[in-house]
């Protein structure tokens, strides 16, 4: 299996696959095609030259926030997400932050040596501003109503509220 991670924007077709698969993912609410295009940058994964997953990055000040993160269902369990997160942590400058309610992501963050720090109440200001920008983007992209519908539907599928926060601090 040839696994490549590239710092490049996924194509419209790649994003369409991600949005379709996301319907069955309990821990990721909903990210519409226009919202996917609104992030600051992306790492895209390819298995044997086929698109396999994407990790978006958003930045403010000294901080980079990793995620959303999606690996297409047929590529789960092959180390794709681990490779995406590793590449982003190695490439992004400054401090790196990642939060998730998905235990698989917790395991990856721990495995690659990120430290667990922060909760929703004590995040650095830069992170709060990134979250604010992401929320406004969903509205600006006119995907808020779909987001709310999916949030209500998925609340019944898993405990999506217990997020754990991981960081790599560089200064
Ligand atoms: C979470 C996700 C990105 C993981 O992608 P992946 O490519 O399958 O991940 P990897 O193969 O790199 O590693 C997964 C690790 O998590 C572990 N894992 C899987 N399910 C787990 C669980 N329920 N609890 C704990 N660990 C789990 C695996 O054993 C593996 O660890 P290992 O390599 O030490 O065996 C993928 O399942 C996905 O896209 N899920 C849907 C979207 C999502 O939830 N995104 C995150 C929202 S923030």
Specify the pLDDT at position 157. Answer: 79
Q: Render pLDDT for 45-69 as a digit per residue (tens, 0 to 9).
A: 999 999 999 999 999 999 999 999 9
Ligand 1 close to Cβ of residue 19 (< 6 A): no
Specify the pLDDT at position 159. Answer: 72
Residue with CA closest to ligand 1 atom 13: 79
Ligand 1 close to Cβ of residue 5 (< 6 A): no
Ligand 1 close to Cβ of residue 102 (< 6 A): yes
Q: What is the CATH number of the domain that holds 74?
A: 3.40.630.30
Ligand 1 close to Cβ of residue 71 (< 6 A): yes
Q: State the helix-helix crossing angle for 103-111 and 80-91, rounded to 10 degrees.
A: 50
- Is 139 a residue whose pLDDT tops 90? yes
Give me the domain span that covers residue 148.
Answer: 3-168
Specify the pLDDT at position 57. Answer: 98
Q: Rounded to two decimals, what is the model's pTM?
A: 0.96
- Of 104, 111, 134, best ligand 1 pocket probe by most atoms within 8 Å of the beta carbon: 104
Contacts of 84 (CB under 8 A, 6+ apart): 5, 43, 45, 53, 54, 55, 69, 71
User: Region 5-13: what's the mean pLDDT?
Assistant: 96
Query: What is the biggest distance separating any 2 CA atoms in the chain, rounded to whole angstroms?
Result: 42
Q: Render pLDDT for 79-125 as a digit per residue (tens, 0 to 9).
A: 999 999 999 999 999 999 999 999 999 999 999 999 999 999 999 99
Number of compact structural domains in the chain: 1
Ligand 1 close to Cβ of residue 104 (< 6 A): yes
């Amino acid at each position: 299996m040839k696994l490549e991670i590239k710092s490049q924007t996924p194509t419209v077709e790649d994003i369409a696959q991600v949005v379709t698969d996301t319907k069955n993912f309990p821990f990721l609410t909903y990210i519409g095609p226009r919202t996917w295009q609104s992030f600051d940058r992306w790492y895209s994964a390819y298995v044997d030259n086929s698109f396999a997953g994407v990790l978006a990055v958003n930045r403010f000040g000294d901080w980079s926030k990793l995620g959303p993160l999606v690996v297409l269902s047929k590529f789960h369990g092959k180390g794709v997400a681990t490779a995406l997160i590793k590449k982003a942590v190695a490439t992004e400058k400054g401090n790196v932050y990642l939060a998730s309610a998905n235990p698989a992501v917790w395991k990856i963050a721990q495995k690659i040596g990120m430290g667990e720090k922060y909760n929703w109440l004590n995040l650095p200001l830069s992170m709060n501003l990134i979250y604010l920008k992401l929320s406004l983007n969903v509205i600006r992209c006119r995907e808020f109503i779909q987001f709310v519908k999916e949030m209500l539907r998925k609340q019944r599928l898993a405990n999506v509220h217990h997020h754990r926060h991981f960081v790599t601090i560089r200064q």
